[in-house]
Structure 1
């Protein structure tokens, strides 16, 4: 079973303080944490490093989290993407569904809740994708 220590995380957050504190927490849990401060930078780092999981803020300069996620899903549809947002409005939620976001977490972030979400994603999206059924 894959654990966080075997996985690479891409964290895309435009607020320096939030990004740095989350990177510190995730750094002790994941094999590698790559960070970016906007969607354009996040997309470039995604293509360069091929992370296992992406966590991104929805509202960022240059390219927002949903547009970045849409492009990631075109490039790698099975990579799980978690969107963090201070907004719970219907329009943003529906767009996130259309993009294929795996989870939508409302800010302020409860790190315990976020880890539960990540555990579910690892079990269903990453481990589930690694299971190969052999029939006789």
Structure 2
């Protein structure tokens, strides 16, 4: 069963908008073993090294270190870790950068938390 597999997954959400982070954690966080929130890319990299999450969900535009720059660092540490981008921007340059870095999925804000959960469910057998 997919939901049982989700209960073993550690998720790291990197989002500087507190309301969105809380909304996403409340909407889908209970489906996972843990759902940790970092508030910027620097903190995201630190948490990644500490908790070794199975999947990373991140915003692109954040203070200190952008989501794309953070994703680059994470991919150097762990190339197979799936990374999902959440962004209010559909600019081609950002999309192409995300593809070059190896981002797994790109959701445009506003997005449906259930779609994010369904996507994670779809890749769960590949994680690990």
TM-score, length-normalised on structure 1? 0.88
How much is the aligned-residue C-alpha RMSD, in angstroms? 1.3
Question: More deviation in 112-121 or 31-40?
Answer: 112-121
Contact 2:9–2:53 under 8 Å retained in 1: yes
Distance 2:99 2:44 in 1: 20
What do the CA deviations read for 1:75-94 (whole angstroms, capped 9, x no partner)?
00000000001111110000
Q: Among residues 9, 14, 19, which one is paired with 2:16 in the alignment? A: 14
Distance 2:17 2:75 in 1: 24
- Higher Cα Rg: structure 1 or 2? 1
Flag structure 1 segments of 5+ consecutive residues without an equivalent: 131-136
Flag structure 2 segments of 5+ consecutive residues without an equivalent: none
Distance 1:115 1:26 in 2: 7
- What is the number of residues matched between the two proteins? 126
Distance 2:70 2:120 in 1: 19
CA drift at 1:115: 1.5
